[in-house]
Amino acid sequence: MYGTPREFLENRLSIVINAQKCVGCTLCMRFCPLGTVLEQGSDGRVHRSREMACAGCMKCIDRCPNAAISAIRRAT
């Protein structure tokens, strides 16, 4: 388990993208129900754009074929 949607909404969790693992397939972007949290950069890889809009569904983490996306706890 990566955390709960509530932890994302309360800003206790943050999405992290490992640039070395990301191949730019954009599956994470396509499965994001909000469509505003991630964007494809000029380097072809996916980057966070509006993390505060994240609903915490973790579909991006589950759909990434290279395990390039993870959730980490923020320091308080």
Interatomic CA distance for residues 24 and 4, integer angstroms: 26
Count how many domains the chain has.
Answer: 1
Structural domain span for residue 40 = 5-73
Cβ contact 4:56 at 8 Å:
yes
Q: What is the pTM of this model?
A: 0.78
- In 3D space, the residue among 8, 11, 10, 6 whose CA is nearest the CA of residue 61 turns out to be 8
Count H helices and E strands in the chain, helices first: 3, 4
**pLDDT tens, N- to C-terminus, the chain (76 residues):** 456 666 665 667 778 899 999 999 999 999 988 887 889 999 999 988 876 777 788 899 999 999 999 988 777 6
CATH number, domain containing residue 21: 3.30.70.20
